[in-house]
Amino acid sequence: MNKLLGRTAVAALAIAFAGEALATEWNVSLWGKRRAFTEHVEKLAELVSEKTNGEFTMNISYGGLSNNRENLDGISIGAFEMAQFCAGYHRDKNPSITVMELPFLGVSSLEQERDISMAVYQHPAVAEDLARWNATLLMPSPLPQYNLVGVGDAPTTLADFEGMSVRATGGIGEAMATVGAVPTSMTATEVRQAMDSGVVKAVSFAPHAHMSFGTIENAEWWTTNLNPGTVNCPVVVNTDALESLSDAEREALMSSVDAALEHYITYYNDQTMAAWGPALEERGIEQIEFSADEIAAFKKAAAAPAAEAWIEEMNGRGMPAQELYDLVTGMVADGNM
């Protein structure tokens, strides 16, 4: 009887370990804390777990796996299976998707930002660019137009930005430089300290980040309509990990992307933007609106030169730069949603 019970226990343990071995767990590298910017990743994890009855799960880490500037490097070596990063953090590593960070593209909604980003991600040249890092682009993190919060005298004309130190990455930084500002590139987690210490006088962010990273706590003014552009922050997966999934697991993942993005956009519009106005008013932050002439002058100074420079640089890298630029601007012109 003891032998029979022993064999039964061993068999049960073997089955249990076999079941455990069959389960798939991915590590996901994010940063900061859970916020609007990460809601699609959280939703994706939830949906994938539901569709696989818990056999495919995602362990989401906020800063515990990698520095945000090193997430793409971590993906390349398989340190984790999924990560989020922003193109402007290391434009030389992902030059193709920086087309989405050019200033004054005219993208008017999160839905449009999502659709155009997905079209860019599916372009063969872009897929090849990210493949250098063993990365497959999964989905964007659609963001509204960036604006600035700052301390000190509020700028009321473009001339007032002359000599102002501004945290601004990518195309936004290039745009700010055209009006005399001094752009500084730093990650979101470094910004509050830089602002408090006076390293920068203004910070360019989308509303959720201004709230999440505390830049409005000591801010004195906010530009309501400068709208120089936005950043592109994709979620990528390690290509080897993606290919190693079973057909059912891959289907669970890929079929959940659209729903995750819909959740993200609804969350951003209904919760983040609804909280933004009251957050400014509660803190007595002055809201600066620039005249139509000032905005037109800013766009004239920044948009075309930045696009021309980007196309020339990307052509030098052997990329179909004009084709990528035309893809984006064409979809904007068509009002693609």
Following DSSP, what letter does each residue of 277-311 receive, concatenated?
HHHHHHTTPEEE---HHHHHHHHHHHHHHHHHHHH
Report the pLDDT value the prediction gives residue 5, as an integer from 0 to 100: 45
Give residue 281's identity as a one-letter amino acid code.
E
Backbone angles phi, psi at 151, to 5 degrees: -120, 160
Going residue by residue through the chain, which has 337 residues, state the pLDDT in tens, using 9 for 90 and above.
Answer: 455 445 555 545 555 554 455 799 999 999 999 999 999 999 999 999 999 999 999 999 999 999 999 999 999 999 999 999 999 889 999 999 999 999 999 998 999 999 999 999 999 999 999 999 999 999 999 999 999 999 999 999 999 999 999 999 888 999 999 999 999 988 888 999 999 999 999 999 999 999 999 999 999 999 999 999 999 999 999 999 999 999 999 999 999 999 999 999 999 999 999 999 999 999 999 999 999 999 999 999 999 999 999 999 999 999 999 999 999 999 999 874 4
User: Domains in the chain, please, with CATH?
Assistant: 2-142+232-272 (3.40.190.170), 147-230+283-334 (3.40.190.170)
- Burial environment of residue 100 by CB neighbours within 10 A (0 to 12, 13 to 18, 19 or more): buried
Q: What's the burial of 1, exposed, middle or buried (CB within 10 Å: 0-12/13-18/19+)?
A: exposed
Q: Supply the pTM of this predicted model.
A: 0.86
pLDDT of residue 7: 56
* pLDDT (0 to 100) of residue 6: 55
Per-residue pLDDT at 187: 86
Determine the Cα–Cα distance for residues 166 and 223; give it in Å rounded to an integer. Answer: 13
Structure confidence at residue 169 (pLDDT): 87
* pLDDT score of 171: 87
**C-alpha torsion angle, residues 193, 199, 202, 204 (rounded to 10):** -70
Nearest to 149 by CA among 34, 279, 33, 264: 279
Q: How far apart are CA 178 and CA 50, in angstroms?
A: 49
Q: Pick the closest to residue 138 from 13, 22, 245, 284 (CA basis).
A: 245
Strands 221-223, 147-150: pairing is: antiparallel
DSSP 58: E
Per-residue pLDDT at 170: 84
Query: Kind of pairing, strands 235-238 and 82-84?
Result: antiparallel
